[in-house]
């Protein structure tokens, strides 16, 4: 391999190097200095993030296996940003709860991130599968990452249940995906996307596609593969949930784009109805089941499920505009959900109450935290002028143009239903008198992370044009035919 070939791989290599550095630093640092590991990891990732603006974005490839270019870079920047926010948001929690194993936590997080970084550019089934699992397996461990060494410990019970549910559903989905992959690769006579693209659409091929779709649907939390989502979010460590709820879903979208647009783009008629059906079921399940929830993370988990439903509407169009809107939606989704889960975590840490009752009178106690919450809620509800508004508007517009009228109608009515529980949360924060006036204590790292999300959500809301342009450019790299 000559030097220019490596250039576009720099972000992936950077993350791998960062993971190794954190691992080594963990071994070298005395235990009193281990709290530096988080900032080190965040700084390294920021450096990689900066580097993404200097790499070759022309779209070179390594023998058809891994592509660079605008699309993968778009996703990589998103993952890096989300990972930095996730690390910053969890600095204090990780140090307090799992002081001895901090290095492990960050190393696993970076490994998962490395898997995500490879995913959007992967154009070969083997690489795609490895990246997908590299992302997934560390998450199983991280979900169970709480101090629960003693038998019968409550926190240990919660964390092991969260991890187990994620693992069980995840590995069953992987097995189903593997079977699908074996059928698809066998019928196409190769593992490259080019081979898949050339394969004829036989019924057996369609079965394979559907099995693969089921595996990605698990990662995206699409109903009926979503059932781990609320349980895991409720039990896993708070700041980790803000990472889990954002990045892996975006990575799932990247995998969906890489596989179904580059690989199965030629036989889109075979999977579009299935995606439409999934979108409908997901929106309905997410919006309706969120209504009776009182645990904040559980409620937000269902709301996240519903959001992915909206995203699938745009994906079901299969047009260039639709894909661009999927990418645009992914960014607003990550910024909003990472932010709101961090706010929920901050409130839970401060009040010790994980239900919506903890939000009562938040505006009177911490106006800025309440304002951030309000911005994220408005973004989820799709109200101008925050990021979620444009995302929802453009998704509905593009789906309407593509003729998916019934999906748009269902999505619009379900988003009215979802207004109900979003506004209830806003009401609790703003219209209920606080019982005590002491301002909420928010740790500095968490505060920086929330502010970063807030800036992203409001910034995109006020000035969406640059992100739209970037999304449109990125969508092209998933749509150009591969030979």
SS3 4: helix
CA nearest neighbour of 233 among 338, 149, 109, 138: 338
Burial of 61 (0-12, 13-18, 19+ CB in 10 A): middle
Residue 371 touches other proteins, criterion: CB under 8 A: no
Query: Quick one: 181 or 380, whose CB is closer to other proteins?
Result: 181
Q: How far is the CB of 89 from other proteins (least distance, A)?
A: 22
Q: Which residue, chain included where needed, has tokens 């593969």? A: 225
How distant, in Å, are the alpha carbons of 143, 241, 244, 416 from that of 159?
7, 12, 14, 34
Q: Give dist(CA 63, CA 135) in Å, integer.
A: 23
Q: How far is the CB of 309 from other proteins (least distance, A)?
A: 14
Q: How far is the CB of 2 from other proteins (least distance, A)?
A: 25
Residues numbered 281 to 320 that lie near other proteins (CB under 8 A) are: 288-293, 298
Residue among 16, 131, 176, 327 that touches other proteins (CB under 8 A): 176
Residue 270 touches other proteins, criterion: CB under 8 A: yes
CB within 8 A of 139, min separation 6: which ones?
112, 166, 244, 248
- The token duo for 427 is 């009401």
Query: Quick one: 7 or 98, whose CB is closer to other proteins?
Result: 98
Q: How far is the CB of 338 from other proteins (least distance, A)?
A: 22
Burial 119-158 (b: 16+ CB within 10 A, else e): bbbbbbbebbbebbebbbbbbbbbbbbbebeeeeeeebeb
Residue 71 touches other proteins, criterion: CB under 8 A: no
Phi/psi for 432 (5° steps) reads -100, 135
| Residue 221-260 contact track with other proteins, rule CB under 8 A, x = bound | --xxx-xx-xx--xx-------------------------
Phi/psi for 388 (5° steps) reads -60, -25
Among 24-32, 71-79, 167-175, 375-383, which window interacts with other proteins (CB under 8 A)?
Answer: 167-175
CA nearest neighbour of 303 among 226, 394, 391: 226
Residue among 175, 409, 431, 455 that touches other proteins (CB under 8 A): 175
Residue 131 touches other proteins, criterion: CB under 8 A: no
Q: How far is the CB of 129 from other proteins (least distance, A)?
A: 7
Residue 197 touches other proteins, criterion: CB under 8 A: no
Q: How far is the CB of 298 from other proteins (least distance, A)?
A: 8
Residue 451 touches other proteins, criterion: CB under 8 A: no
Among 12-20, 37-45, 187-195, 442-450, which window interacts with other proteins (CB under 8 A)?
Answer: 187-195
Q: Give dist(CA 251, CA 248) in Å, integer.
A: 5
Q: How far is the CB of 282 from other proteins (least distance, A)?
A: 11
Q: Give dist(CA 105, CA 36) in Å, integer.
A: 13
SS3 27: helix
Number of residues that bind other proteins (CB under 8 A): 84
Residue among 137, 373, 449, 454 that touches other proteins (CB under 8 A): 137
Residue among 22, 159, 250, 280 that touches other proteins (CB under 8 A): 159
Q: How far is the CB of 306 from other proteins (least distance, A)?
A: 12
Q: Give dist(CA 247, CA 115) in Å, integer.
A: 11
* 8-state DSSP, 259: I
Residues numbered 388 to 447 that lie near other proteins (CB under 8 A) are: 417, 420
Q: How far is the CB of 398 from other proteins (least distance, A)?
A: 9
Residue 24 touches other proteins, criterion: CB under 8 A: no
Q: Give dist(CA 299, CA 84) in Å, integer.
A: 25
Residue among 64, 186, 266, 434 that touches other proteins (CB under 8 A): 186
Residue 164 touches other proteins, criterion: CB under 8 A: yes
Query: Quick one: 153 or 353, whose CB is closer to other proteins?
Result: 153
Residue among 7, 98, 160, 268 that touches other proteins (CB under 8 A): 160
Phi/psi for 298 (5° steps) reads -65, -45
Residue 464 touches other proteins, criterion: CB under 8 A: yes
Burial of 8 (0-12, 13-18, 19+ CB in 10 A): buried
Residues numbered 318 to 337 that lie near other proteins (CB under 8 A) are: 321
Contact between 123 and 66 under an 8 Å Cβ cutoff? The reply is: yes
Residue among 55, 178, 194, 424 that touches other proteins (CB under 8 A): 178
């Amino acid at each position: 391999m000559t030097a220019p070939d490596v250039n576009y791989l720099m972000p992936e290599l950077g993350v791998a190097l960062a993971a190794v550095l954190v691992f080594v630093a963990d071994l070298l640092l005395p235990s009193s200095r281990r709290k530096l590991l988080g900032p080190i990891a965040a700084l390294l990732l920021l450096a990689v993030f900066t580097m993404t603006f200097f790499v070759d974005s022309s779209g070179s490839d390594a023998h058809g296996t891994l592509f660079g270019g605008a699309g993968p870079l778009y996703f990589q920047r998103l993952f890096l940003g989300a990972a930095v926010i996730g690390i910053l948001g969890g600095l204090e929690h990780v140090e307090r709860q799992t002081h001895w194993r901090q290095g492990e936590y960050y190393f696993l997080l970076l490994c998962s991130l490395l898997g995500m970084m490879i995913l959007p550019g992967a154009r070969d089934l083997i690489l795609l599968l490895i990246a997908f699992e590299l992302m997934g397996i560390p998450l199983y461990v991280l979900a169970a990452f709480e101090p629960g060494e003693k038998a019968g410990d409550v926190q240990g019970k919660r964390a092991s249940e969260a991890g187990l549910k994620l693992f069980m559903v995840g590995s069953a989905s992987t097995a189903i995906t593997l079977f699908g992959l074996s059928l698809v690769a066998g019928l196409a006579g190769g593992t490259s996307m080019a081979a898949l693209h050339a394969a004829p659409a036989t019924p057996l091929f369609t079965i394979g596609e559907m099995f693969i779709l089921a595996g990605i649907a698990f990662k995206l939390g699409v109903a009926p593969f979503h059932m781990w989502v609320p349980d895991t979010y409720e039990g896993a460590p708070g700041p980790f949930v803000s990472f889990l709820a954002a990045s892996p879903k975006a990575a799932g979208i990247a995998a969906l784009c890489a596989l179904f647009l580059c690989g199965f783009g030629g036989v889109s008629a075979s999977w579009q109805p299935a995606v439409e059906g999934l979108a409908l079921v997901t929106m309905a399940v997410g919006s309706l089941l969120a209504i009776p929830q009182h645990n904040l993370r559980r409620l937000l988990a269902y709301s996240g499920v519903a959001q992915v439903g909206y995203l699938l509407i745009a994906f079901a169009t299969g047009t260039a505009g639709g894909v661009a809107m999927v990418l645009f939606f992914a960014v607003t989704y990550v910024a909003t959900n990472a932010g709101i889960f961090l706010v929920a975590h901050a409130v839970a840490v401060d009040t010790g109450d994980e239900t919506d009752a903890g939000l009562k009178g938040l505006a009177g106690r911490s106006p800025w935290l309440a304002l951030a919450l309000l911005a994220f809620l408005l973004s989820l509800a799709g109200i101008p002028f925050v990021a979620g508004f444009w995302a929802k508007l453009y998704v509905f517009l593009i789906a309407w143009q593509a003729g998916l009228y019934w999906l748009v109608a269902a999505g619009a009515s379900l988003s009215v239903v979802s207004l109900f529980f979003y506004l209830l949360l806003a009401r609790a924060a703003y219209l209920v008198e606080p019982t005590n006036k002491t301002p909420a204590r928010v740790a500095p790292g968490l505060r920086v992370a929330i502010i970063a999300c807030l800036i992203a959500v409001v910034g995109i809301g006020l000035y969406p044009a640059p992100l739209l342009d970037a999304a449109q450019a990125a969508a092209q790299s998933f749509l150009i035919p591969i030979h």
